[in-house]
Amino acid sequence: MTKELEKLDARMGKEKRKILLFMDHCAAHPPDIKLKNIEVAFFPANCTSKLQPLDVGIIANMKIFYRRQLTQYLISKVDENGEQPKINVLQVSAKLF
């Protein structure tokens, strides 16, 4: 998790962005990491039952965003080549984000 946060922090630095990242208290989440472009805020303990319904909306929105980006990517490739490309979800994800 620390490596991923450091990569995200570097990316935010390149983009000259500062973000706030909310995280729960999980053993994998480092409580004492120092980042330049990311401020990490931890949710209070025992709030999962109140926050879990939020996940449904966030995940649904992410799926909608991903499908829209994937569709636009495929249309652009069909317009370029005249045929539908074979896709690998990991490759497309890297190109979309």
Predicted model pTM: 0.50
pLDDT in tens, 24-62: 877 777 778 889 999 988 888 777 777 777 777 888 888
Count helices and strands (H / E) in the chain: 3, 2
CA distance 95 to 97: 6
Query: What is the average pLDDT across 81-97?
Result: 70
What pLDDT score does 96 carry? 56
Residue 77, pLDDT > 60, answer: yes
Distance CA 58, CA 48 (A): 15
pLDDT of residue 6: 92
